Each structure stands twice: as structure tokens, then as C-alpha cells.
Amino acid sequence: MWPMPSQPAIRGFACRVLLDGARALPADKQQRVLSRVPPQTLALFESAPRMGWVPIEESMKLTEPLHAVLGTPGFRQFLAAQADRMASYPLLQTFFDGAVRLLGLTPQALLKWSTYAWDQAFRDCGRLVYQSLGESDEGRRVEMRLEEVPPILLLEGTFAQALAGAFEMFLHRCNRKGRVELQHVGSQATRFVYDVSWE
């Protein structure tokens, strides 16, 4: 038999963080979100090994209801808070601690090193790329790109907004005011492009 091709996947610990965050929502929103998630998906999140892989389509059965119920600004805020918890997980904390030791607690250090952390938390979900856009009178700018995005992640815009929330978390961690703008790159695009700027 030929080996099965790998499929887009996310670590079990990340799914559990998202589920715990959903359960911590105010009761009305929690009920509206979780009532849309299949019971077998909830059971999978609870039983998956923390370092195991969960198919990304299963995680989307939670993130899409979260996006629908919270709206885009609320969903980004929610994801920023959960990404902060994920970044404290030992596997990812190592990368961010290394970035801070080498470069200081700056958005560009965390964003740059997130490209390495990405491959630890996601599998076959695209390639994260960092590119500095330099300094201006208003502050600094970085372009973050997720390239080779698999088709499943292009649906509904949920994954693109989740990633924007993660980038906003890096600004919060560094106590910087800034913006994360998702660039529209066309309906046939297979990448997400973000303009991240801060004072």
C-alpha cells in the first residue's frame, strides 16, 4: 500500500486552547458557538494528544462558528487572546524566548521568529514568510505572507482572520500600538498577505 498523503493539520494543544477559549465565552455566545460544533469534533479535541496532529478541517468546525458568532473584530480579539496562550506552550515558547534573547522584545523579532514556530504548530497549511518593509516617520512596517495556502483554508476568510489575530497578539505582547491589515489579493489567490505596522 502507498502511504497516505499528509493533510493540513494543527497540533492537538492548539485545538484544546481554542476549545477552552470558546468555553470561557459569555454564556449566550458560548452556547451559540458550541451548539454548532459536532459532538465528535469536541470529543476529538479533548482526546487528541497535545503534540498530536488534528486535521485542520476539524479545527475549522470550531473556528468558523466562532467567526460567525463573534464577527470579524471580535473573532480577531478572541484569536489574539488564544494565540497568546498558545505562544506560552513550551514548544512555541522556546522560539519566542530565543527571539527575545537575540533581538529584544520587539514586534519584528516575534514576527520574524513566528515563521519558525509556524512549522511546529501547523502541518501542510502553507509557508509563513517575513519581510521587513523598513521604517517611516510613523513607525515600522513588516509584510507577513502565508504562501501556498491549501484550498480548504481559503473558505469563508476564517483562517485568514485567525492569523491576523495572531499577528495582533505580537503587537500586544510588545505593548505597541499598531495595525494588521489583510491585503486583498484576488479570488484566485493561494496566499494571504498582511501589512503589519506599529509606532
Residue 1, domain member (yes or no): no
Measure the CA–CA gap between 155 and 109, rounded to whole angstroms. 30
pTM score above 0.85: yes
Q: How far apart are CA 64 and CA 67, in angstroms?
A: 5
75 burial type by CB count under 10 A (0-12 exposed, 13-18 middle, 19+ buried): buried
How far, in whole angstroms, is CA 161 from its chain's centroid?
8
Which CATH number do you get for residue 73? 3.90.1520.10
- Asked if residue 31 is part of any domain, the answer here is yes
Angle, CA 17 vertex, CA 84 and CA 194 arms, to 5°: 50
| Gap between the Cα atoms of 126 and 196, Å rounded | 19
Could you read off the pLDDT tens digit of each residue along the chain, which spans 199 residues? 444 457 999 999 999 999 999 999 999 999 999 999 999 999 999 999 999 999 999 999 999 999 999 999 999 999 999 998 888 877 777 777 877 787 778 888 889 889 988 998 999 999 999 998 877 666 689 999 999 999 889 877 899 999 999 999 999 988 999 999 998 765 667 889 999 999 8
Number of structural domains (the chain) is: 1
Residue 3 resides in a domain: no
**Residue-range definition of the domain harbouring residue 55:** 9-198
